[in-house]
């Protein structure tokens, strides 16, 4: 079964702790993305990667970090520097067209992070 998985589905952390969200895909996609979604809002891009060992900041990268050591994996770390980390986090992947976003994105089921 090809797809994209995120774990865990729910995550609870105390303020001041770093936390890492997992994202794995077996679709053989080169591009992977992390989005944040707040209640009643659209998706905002945190980081994206178009190739292994390379990634770019999105619109709201402050307080987050990523790595892309393997094609299949793109973990996101929410650091203690992120002022308001409680949100729904979505990971996605796609083929790469190079320009113009010609391919659809495939999404994981999401991780709901609650920081208290």
Partner 1 sequence: SQQGEEDPQALSIQEGENATMNCSYKTSINNLQWYRQNSGRGLVHLILIRSNEREKHSGRLRVTLDTSKKSSSLLITASRAADTASYFCATDAPGNRDDKIIFGKGTRLHILP
116 lies in the binding site for partner 1 (CB under 8 A): no
Strand partners, 111: 89
Sites for partner 1 among residues 26-45 (CB under 8 A): 31, 33, 35, 40-45
- Which residues is 85 bridged to in the sheet? none
Q: Which of 15, 53, 83, 104 binds partner 1 (CB under 8 A)?
A: 104
For residues 24 and 92, give the distance between their C-alpha atoms in angstroms, rounded to a whole number: 9
The C-alpha atoms of residue 67 and residue 58 are separated, in whole angstroms, by: 14
Residues at the contact surface with partner 1, assessed by CB under 8 A: 31, 33, 35, 40-45, 48, 50, 56, 58-59, 88, 90, 92, 94, 96-110, 112
């Amino acid at each position: 079964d090809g797809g994209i998985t995120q774990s865990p589905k729910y995550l609870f952390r105390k303020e001041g702790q770093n936390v890492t969200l997992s994202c794995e895909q077996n679709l053989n996609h080169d591009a992977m993305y992390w989005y944040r979604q707040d209640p009643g809002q659209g998706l905002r891009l945190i980081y994206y990667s178009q190739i292994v060992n390379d990634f770019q900041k999105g619109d709201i990268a402050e307080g987050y970090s990523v790595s892309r050591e393997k094609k299949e994996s793109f973990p996101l770390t929410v650091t203690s520097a992120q002022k308001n980390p409680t949100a729904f986090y979505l990971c996605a992947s796609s083929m790469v067209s190079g320009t113009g976003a010609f391919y659809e994105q495939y999404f994981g089921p999401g991780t709901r992070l609650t920081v208290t």
